[in-house]
Each structure stands twice: as structure tokens, then as C-alpha cells.
Structure 1
């Protein structure tokens, strides 16, 4: 598995039920006759849900489909564990089919690919502004600055977000809640791929050690700065 494969799903091309949805286009067609919330109401409702999530841990299953030839990446399913904590701390660890770790905090992002013994270091401020990671680890009050927020059906805690930035790496991002817990995220990227991330064993607002969001490159690996 290439290093860019998983980081793309988290960084915008992060991070994670009884009412799961498939891809956003299918949901829109199913709820076309249902009442949709206006953008301000949708933003306020999503903000309220996310503001109550101070931290989150979960297992995840990530599936990518479509347009593999255009992107150069293969479709497939990946699984592992994740944790996020406000402000701006997240950890995304893929264990199957290959080991990869993404760790971010307020200033730095690390992507560690164990198989090829390589770690990439990036500045967070260049990555976080209009990415899915902002949803679960950033300031909820700033989400509306970066996304147009919609709620296709007022009776369901399901939201579809569209980035305002013209250079965003994805076209839309959907997030679904069950009992106020995030249970699924679906990302449609600019290359025609759809990445679905299902969360299980979700735990909210537990104490997470700060060590989970720090990374020190092991001896003997290549470190790349971007």
C-alpha cells in the first residue's frame, strides 16, 4: 500500500451504526423529497454535535472505490484504530493490509510508513484548513468558514459538506451520527474516488494520553520534510 493512499483519505483527498449511509449522491437521491435544512441551521446543528465531542477513539474500516486508473491508486479496504482530541490532535493507525501511522498536533504532521521505513514531516497549517481532519479535531466554530454545510434530511443526523476553497482535494465530505456519535464519513475526491470510513467501538470524551499524538522517528528510517 502506498503512503499517499491512506493520508489522502484523512487529509482531504482524517479521520472516522444503525443508520449508515452509502455515498452522498445516493443519499441525496433517496432524500430528494424530504425536508432539507437551510445552510445556517445545518451549520448550527453540526457545530453543536461536534462541539460536544472533545475527544474520540474508535476502530475504523476504510473502503475506497472508483477511478483507480485515474489516481494511480488501487481500490481496497483498510482497517485500524484512530483517536482525536481537541484542539488539533489526531492519530490514525492502519494495521491491515499494511502498517501506516499518521500523527498530527497543533504544529506538525507525521506520516510513517513502516514497510518502506520512511517518515514524512509536514507543517499542519498547510494541511488542516479545509480537510476532513478539521471536523473531528479542529475548532467547530471555524468549520463554516471552510465548508458549505448541508443537511439533506432534517430528520437524520447526516450532513454533507462542500469545501469553499477552489484548490481542495475533495469535492464533498459527508458525516453521519448515531446517538450523537460519529459513525461514518464518506469522501468524494477530485479524482472520482469515493472513500467510506465506518467507525466502531466509538468512545467519546475519554482521557487520551498526549503521547498518542507525538511521534519520534525510529532509528534507521528515512525522514522527509515537506
Structure 2
């Protein structure tokens, strides 16, 4: 997986072009059939039991100036947010923005907490509701459920870049692309939402299939926190 909130949406990446050497014929990317693309993505996800990484996230408006999505003020557009994320499949997710402001999104599998220390406020939502709005959570999700909800395409058989398009017409985003390195670690996500905004998330210092303490995914609101149920 909005990363919401000041909630900033999260998400996944574009496609690569292959060009031939000079004086040779152009080499065109070979697209993959949808069923095979889905199987390829499932293979990538099932081999990713857990991972931790640093992230850098930027949201930009495409074309004409549009009203920002709910919870995302205009000051967040074109601004880069940085932080750390940790994922353990299935269902465990930790996303903490550290700069330029702080926010934490965490779930152990059923409830998602979005905590804003500056506002001393924590939003509590069911995981099923939040997954549709926070594509970054897809990385921690159940593979079979993900495949039921999205069409998967792969524009180049030589590149581990997958585009997920929601089957539901009322989805909060139009499509989401995920790119993987040769060793199976996610490298980036690009999200195009329904309001004409693109959120790009790049991962660095990625550690695949590492042991993550259980306490990472357990959230207890600090004393005095205003809790909002949605």
C-alpha cells in the first residue's frame, strides 16, 4: 500500500522501453497475456513473505489544476515525503512518514490505525475498507483476494512491472503499477487516482524476507489521543 491522511495516498511504477543498438531493427516489448501476467505477479508476491524498506513519496496533479483528494491538502502536492515501511504477509503492515511531517499507518490484520501525532489523533478503520483506499497495503494482502479485485497486465515480458486495474467501478484509483527487481524485492509503485493525481513511491535499502518483531504491527494510542472510528 492514500497513504492517507495528511493522509497521503500510497503506491507504483511505469513501463520501460527497450531500444535496439544503432543500425539494427527496433526491439519491441512483448506484452504478456492477462492470465500469465496474473500468475507472474502471484509468484512475485508469494515469494515475498516480509520486507522492510525506506520510501520516498511524491504526489503530482496531472494536467489542469484539480482539487486535492480528501485529506490531501494542496501543500502536499509536489512535496516529497520520506519514511520507513515494514510488511509481513498476510495482513501485517507498518508505514511511518518521518519527513517533513509525521504520520503512522499500522495494521496487524483486522484493524488499520492512522495516527497523526501533531493532531494527537488516531483514525481506526477496518482493514477491508482501508485496502481499497491504500494500495500500498496490497503488498501485505492475501494474494487470492487481490487477484479477485484487480485485472493484471504486464506490458513487457522481460520486465517485472505489473499494472493492476480495479474491477470495481467506484474504486478510489484508476490503476496501480508495481515494479520488482531481479531478486524479487519491490523497487517502486505508481498510483493514478480518480482525481487526476499521480503518486510515486520509490523504495530503497530494501530487505527481503527478514524477521520483523510482532510489536511493530501492534498499535496502542498514546494517552490523550483523540480516537475516531470510521
Which of the pair has more CA radius of gyration? 2
**Matches of 1:177 and 1:154 in 2, distance apart?**
13
Unaligned regions of 5+ residues in structure 1, if any? none
TM-align CA RMSD: 2.2
Aligned twin of 2:144: 141
| SS, match of residue 183 in structure 1 | strand
- Superposed, 1:16-165 pairs within 5 Å as 24=14, 27=15, 30=17, 33-66=28-61, 69-71=66-68, 73-74=73-74, 75=77, 76-128=79-131, 131-165=134-168
Count of aligned pairs between the two proteins:
211
Q: State whether residues 9 and 134 of structure 2, in contact with CA within 8 Å, keep that contact through their aligned partners in structure 1.
A: no
Instruction: Give the TM-score normalised by structure 1.
Output: 0.86
Shift, 1:125, TM fit: 2.0
Shift, 1:165, TM fit: 1.0
**Matches of 2:223 and 2:101 in 1, distance apart?**
20
Instruction: Give the TM-score normalised by structure 2.
Output: 0.85
Structure (1 or 2) with the greater helix fraction? 1
Unaligned regions of 5+ residues in structure 2, if any? 19-26
**Matches of 1:6 and 1:183 in 2, distance apart?**
24
Q: Flag as ranges the 4+ runs of structure 1 deviating above 6 A.
A: none
Q: State whether residues 92 and 217 of structure 2, in contact with CA within 8 Å, keep that contact through their aligned partners in structure 1.
A: yes
Q: State whether residues 130 and 163 of structure 1, in contact with CA within 8 Å, keep that contact through their aligned partners in structure 2.
A: no
